[in-house]
Structure 1
Amino acid sequence: MSQYYRLIRHSGNQDLFRVVEMSVAALLSDRPFHIQAEGLRGTGKTTIMRAARELLPPIKRIKNCLYNCDPAQPHCPLHRFLSPEEVTAIGVEEVPRPFLEISQAAKVGSVVGSIDLAKLTDPINPLAALLPGTIPQAHRGIIFIDEINRLADTAPELADVLLDVMGTRQGRIQIEEPGLQVVELPVAVSIWAASNPDEDPGPLSRIRKQLADRFDLTVVMGRPDDYQAVVDILAGQNSRISPEVAPGQRGGTLADCIVSPDLRQALAQIYIDFGLESLRGAQAMEMAACLNAILSRRNMATIADLVQVAPLALAHRASGEIITAIIDYLNGLLQIPVQDQAQTAVSKRPLAAQTGSRWKEFWRVFHRWLAAVLAKRPQVSYSSNTGSGSRGHGAGARIIDPLNTTIIAPPKPAAPITSLPDEQLVTRDTNSHG
Structure 2
Amino acid sequence: MKRALMLAAVDPTIGGILVFGDRGTGKSTAVRGLARLLPPMMVAGDCRYNCDPAEPAKLCSACRAEGPVRRGRKVPVPVVDLPLSATEDRVAGALDLEKALARGEKAFEPGLLAAAHRGFLYIDEVNLLEDHLVDLLLDVAASGVNLVERDGLSVRHPARFVLVGSGNPEEGELRPQLLDRFGLSVEVTSPKEIAERIEVIRRRDRFDRDPDGFSRDWEKEDAKLRARIAAARRRIGAIETPDSALECATRLCLALGVDGLRGELSLLRAARAAAALDGARTITEATVAQVAPSALRHRLRRDPLDEAGSTVRIERALAELGLQ
TM-score (norm. length: structure 1)? 0.64
User: Could you tell me whether the CA contact under 8 Å between 1:195 and 1:203 is conserved in 2?
Assistant: no
* % identical equivalent positions: 32
Given candidates 173, 180, 183, the residue that maps to 2:155 is 183
Q: SS of the residue aligned with 1:216?
A: strand
Q: Kindly provide the CA deviation profile for residues 198-232 of structure 1, in whole angstroms up to 9, marking residues without a partner as x.
A: 2x2x232xxx0110111111100012132211111
Q: How many residues align?
A: 296
Distance 1:310 1:113 in 2: 37
Q: SS of the residue aligned with 1:217?
A: strand
Q: SS of the residue aligned with 1:259?
A: coil
- Per-residue deviation, 1:322: 4.1
Q: What are the ranges of 5 or more consecutive residues in structure 2 without an aligned counterpart?
A: 207-217, 303-309
Given candidates 153, 157, 173, the residue that maps to 1:203 is 173
Distance 2:193 2:90 in 1: 44
- Per-residue deviation, 1:112: 0.7
Q: SS of the residue aligned with 2:150?
A: coil
Q: What is the RMSD computed on CA atoms of the aligned residues? A: 2.2
Q: Kindly provide the CA deviation profile for residues 29-82 of structure 1, in whole angstroms up to 9, marking residues without a partner as x.
A: xx3631111001011111111111111222221222111111233522211244
Q: SS of the residue aligned with 2:196?
A: helix
User: Could you tell me whether the CA contact under 8 Å between 2:49 and 2:114 is conserved in 1?
Assistant: yes
1:33 matched residue in structure 2: 15
Distance 2:14 2:88 in 1: 22
Q: SS of the residue aligned with 1:80?
A: helix
Distance 1:272 1:140 in 2: 33
Structure 1 residue identity aligned to 2:318: I
- Per-residue deviation, 1:101: 0.9
Distance 1:167 1:227 in 2: 44
1:140 matched residue in structure 2: 118
Q: SS of the residue aligned with 1:41?
A: coil
1:80 matched residue in structure 2: 64
Query: What does 1:86-125 align with in structure 2 at a 5 Å threshold?
Result: 87-88=69-70, 91-123=71-103
Q: SS of the residue aligned with 1:140?
A: coil
User: Could you tell me whether the CA contact under 8 Å between 1:38 and 1:194 is conserved in 2?
Assistant: yes
Q: What are the ranges of 5 or more consecutive residues in structure 1 without an aligned counterpart?
A: 1-15, 335-434
TM-score (norm. length: structure 2)? 0.84
Q: SS of the residue aligned with 2:63?
A: coil
Distance 1:250 1:83 in 2: 32
If asked which structure has higher relative contact order (CA below 8 Å, sep 6+), I would say 2
Query: What does 1:189-228 align with in structure 2 at a 5 Å threshold?
Result: 189-198=161-170, 200=171, 202-204=172-174, 208-228=175-195
User: Could you tell me whether the CA contact under 8 Å between 1:25 and 1:253 is conserved in 2?
Assistant: no
1:327 matched residue in structure 2: 318
User: Could you tell me whether the CA contact under 8 Å between 1:250 and 1:296 is conserved in 2?
Assistant: no
Would you say 1:166 and 2:151 are equivalent positions?
Answer: no
Structure 2 residue identity aligned to 1:119: K
User: Could you tell me whether the CA contact under 8 Å between 1:145 and 1:193 is conserved in 2?
Assistant: yes
Q: Kindly provide the CA deviation profile for residues 297-340 of structure 1, in whole angstroms up to 9, marking residues without a partner as x.
A: 1132111011111111121111536423432244x157xxxxxx
Would you say 1:23 and 2:18 are equivalent positions?
Answer: no
Structure 2 residue identity aligned to 1:267: A
Query: CA 1:80–1:326 in 2, change beyond 3 Å: closer, same or farther?
Result: farther
Query: What does 1:227-246 align with in structure 2 at a 5 Å threshold?
Result: 227-236=194-203, 244-246=224-226
Structure 2 residue identity aligned to 1:142: F
Structure 1 residue identity aligned to 2:86: A
Given candidates 210, 222, 229, the residue that maps to 1:248 is 229
Distance 1:213 1:109 in 2: 25
User: Could you tell me whether the CA contact under 8 Å between 1:32 and 1:189 is conserved in 2?
Assistant: no
Query: CA 1:71–1:235 in 2, change beyond 3 Å: closer, same or farther?
Result: same
Distance 2:65 2:252 in 1: 45
Distance 1:114 1:302 in 2: 48
Higher Cα Rg: structure 1 or 2? 1
User: Could you tell me whether the CA contact under 8 Å between 2:286 and 2:323 is conserved in 1?
Assistant: no
Structure 1 residue identity aligned to 2:105: L
Q: Kindly provide the CA deviation profile for residues 157-180 of structure 1, in whole angstroms up to 9, marking residues without a partner as x.
A: 110111123336xx2221111322
Distance 1:286 1:277 in 2: 16
Query: CA 1:304–1:282 in 2, change beyond 3 Å: closer, same or farther?
Result: same
- Per-residue deviation, 1:257: 2.0
Query: CA 1:235–1:194 in 2, change beyond 3 Å: closer, same or farther?
Result: same
- Per-residue deviation, 1:267: 2.0
Query: CA 1:221–1:258 in 2, change beyond 3 Å: closer, same or farther?
Result: same
Decide which moves more: 244-253 or 43-52. Answer: 244-253
Structure with greater helix percent: 2
User: Could you tell me whether the CA contact under 8 Å between 2:49 and 2:157 is conserved in 1?
Assistant: no
Would you say 1:54 and 2:36 are equivalent positions?
Answer: yes
Distance 1:329 1:136 in 2: 46
- Per-residue deviation, 1:279: 1.8
